[in-house]
């Protein structure tokens, strides 16, 4: 089932999510979130974006296949970023909850992560490139942080009128 994606201005996007204690509801929720992500042609979707304050997000790089990105579809439950690499880079990010706004965001290029999948199996990985970028963006959502919060104050002020038009 396709879920409604909430937009910038909703207080839910600023709240911290809570973790899962076991695999209850994960498969149904992750299926609905994957369907929603495909419908909106995004590459990542966190539960707070569909009005659920749970520690889960979906990554799907299939929309980037024409740019040479390897196809990856993951369900990420109760994620943690264990370590951040020392090299940072800018990349243009957007968000389904902040439509039509795209900005260059500075993030670490490599991260070490720990998370559970839809079966609640534990995974430890080192991610880099676009996967590290998507993971960090969606992880921020679980903590009530939006990509625009990572902009320099002057740049954020410059887009303020466009942000007001969203909600």
Provide the annotated active-site residues: 138
**Residues 17 and 55 sit within 8 Å (Cβ to Cβ):** yes
Residue 40 three-state SS: coil
H or E element that contains 115: strand 110-116
Give the distance, in angstroms, between the CA of residue 116 and the centroid of all CA atoms in the same chain: 16
Cα separation values, 146 from 68, 92, 126, 142, Å: 27, 14, 23, 10
């Amino acid at each position: 089932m396709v879920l409604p994606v909430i937009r910038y201005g909703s207080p839910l996007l600023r709240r911290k999510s809570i973790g899962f204690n076991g695999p209850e509801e994960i498969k149904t929720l992750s299926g609905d979130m994957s369907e929603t992500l495909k419908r909106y042609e995004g590459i990542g979707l966190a539960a707070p974006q569909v009005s659920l304050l749970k520690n889960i997000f979906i990554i799907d790089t299939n929309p980037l296949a024409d740019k040479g990105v390897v196809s990856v579809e993951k369900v990420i439950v109760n994620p943690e970023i264990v370590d951040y690499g020392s090299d940072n880079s800018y990349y243009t990010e957007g968000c389904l909850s902040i439509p039509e706004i795209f900005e260059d965001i500075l993030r670490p290029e490599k991260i070490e992560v720990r998370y559970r999948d839809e079966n609640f199996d534990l995974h430890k990985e080192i991610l880099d490139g676009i996967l590290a970028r998507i993971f960090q963006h969606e992880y921020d959502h679980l903590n009530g942080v939006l990509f625009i919060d990572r902009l320099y104050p002057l740049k954020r002020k410059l887009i303020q009128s466009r942000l007001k038009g969203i909600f």
